[in-house]
Amino acid sequence: MQKILLIGSQGQVGQELKKTLPQTGEVISVTRTELDLSDPGVIVEVIERIKPDFIVNAAAYTAVDKAQSEPEIARKINAQAPAVMAKASKNIGATLLHISTDYVFNGQKNTPYLENDSTDPLGIYGITKRDGEQSIQEVGGRHIILRTAWVYGAYGKGNFVKTMLRLGQEKELIKIVCDQVGSPTWSYDIAMRITEILKNIEKVPTGIYHFTDSGSISWYDFAMNIFEEARKLGFAFKLQEIIPINTHEYPTPAKRPAYSVLSNQKLTDCLGTYPPYWRDSLKKMLVQL
């Protein structure tokens, strides 16, 4: 039976992985308490002690705006820790599956981003995630880098869907950005895709892959859909009106890509299965809530 070390098991993707990965092997999950990614010595010690066949890294510094004022800690977690993991993984002959982000791109394209498109991150979070990808590639061990986007789910500290449901109960009017387009992706679908990759690892060569749910939409349209679906399920809201606004009307410390749809073709070709449609997954997540 193969051994899988799951790093970041308390995050929104990590908690789903804890449920899905046992389909493929014995899972040893670690949280920040057992493995603090800001300590390279601990990363090496844990990997050498457990000697897994796979390391799945679902941990990251994910506070996109806060990263602008904490670049050193973001760099440690998102760029330096993956490099240490990659070296330790290579030394024991393991495969590292590392999660990355659509924010490595500048959003100037208007057709889905391919894995080999040039990266050009707009903020510290994206820069450190891009550097993490590059350091894993430079180490040269067996790895899968899975870029995803617009993640939401039932677990974790917060995400767009949970924020909308809360705001809908608190406010009569909210304003949502309508000029940023992406693919909302349920954390459970990411966990299932990673599990499918590990089950079919011989079909997925070392490299970068994209995975999001299918389809694309603006944050504004996504919010409209969240409330429509939630009302059908009986959620009650104080909310009366959602107003579409442009990005410049909602300034944030970190710039976001205007268009960050990722092409799913490469991984679909490897595995022969296609990602779920985002709206079907949204409905399932709301039912789960």
Ligand X SMILES: NC(=O)c1ccc[n+]([C@@H]2O[C@H](COP(=O)([O-])OP(=O)(O)OC[C@H]3O[C@@H](n4cnc5c(N)ncnc54)[C@H](OP(=O)(O)O)[C@@H]3O)[C@@H](O)[C@H]2O)c1
Active site amino acids = 125
- Verify binding: residue 101, ligand X, rule CB under 6 A: yes
| Per-residue x/- track, 107-146, ligand X (CB under 6 A) | ----------------------x-----------------
Closest residue to ligand X, judged by C-beta, is 11
Q: How far is the CB of 53 from ligand X (least distance, A)?
A: 21
CB-nearer residue toward ligand X: 25 or 40? 40
- Verify binding: residue 199, ligand X, rule CB under 6 A: no
The residues in 206-225 that bind ligand X, with binding defined as CB under 6 A, are none
Which residues make Cβ contacts (< 8 Å) with residue 212, sequence separation at least 6? 102, 148, 149, 150, 182, 183, 184, 185, 261, 262, 264, 275, 278
Beta strands in 173-282 (DSSP E): 173-177, 181-182, 185-186, 207-210, 217-218, 241-245
How far apart are the C-alpha atoms of 38 and 7, rounded to whole Å? 13
How far apart are the C-alpha atoms of 181 and 196, rounded to whole Å? 27
Q: How far is the CB of 129 from ligand X (least distance, A)?
A: 6
- Verify binding: residue 59, ligand X, rule CB under 6 A: yes
5, 6, 11, 266: residue in contact with ligand X (rule CB under 6 A): 11
Beta strands in the chain (DSSP E): 3-7, 26-30, 54-57, 95-101, 143-148, 151-152, 173-177, 181-182, 185-186, 207-210, 217-218, 241-245
Phi-psi domain of 143 (left: phi exceeds 0; alpha: psi -120 through 50; beta: other) = beta
- Verify binding: residue 156, ligand X, rule CB under 6 A: yes
- Verify binding: residue 36, ligand X, rule CB under 6 A: yes
29, 62, 119, 183: residue in contact with ligand X (rule CB under 6 A): 62
- Verify binding: residue 194, ligand X, rule CB under 6 A: no
150, 219, 222, 278: residue in contact with ligand X (rule CB under 6 A): 150
Task: Tell me which residue of 208, 198, 184 sits closest to 275, measured CA to CA.
Answer: 184
CB-nearer residue toward ligand X: 163 or 237? 163
Phi-psi domain of 272 (left: phi exceeds 0; alpha: psi -120 through 50; beta: other) = left
Q: How far is the CB of 13 from ligand X (least distance, A)?
A: 4
How far apart are the C-alpha atoms of 221 and 178, rounded to whole Å? 7
- Verify binding: residue 260, ligand X, rule CB under 6 A: no
- Verify binding: residue 148, ligand X, rule CB under 6 A: yes
* DSSP 8-state symbol, 77: I
CB-nearer residue toward ligand X: 93 or 253? 253
4, 21, 79, 99: residue in contact with ligand X (rule CB under 6 A): 99
Q: How far is the CB of 188 from ligand X (least distance, A)?
A: 11
Question: Which tokens in the block code for residue 58?
Answer: 């679902």
* 144, 166, 184, 225, 251 from 235: Cα distances, Å: 39, 11, 21, 13, 30
Q: How far is the CB of 5 from ligand X (least distance, A)?
A: 13
Residues near ligand X (CB under 6 A), total = 26
- For ligand X, the binding residues (CB under 6 A) are 8, 10-14, 32, 35-38, 58-62, 77, 99, 101-102, 129, 148-151, 156
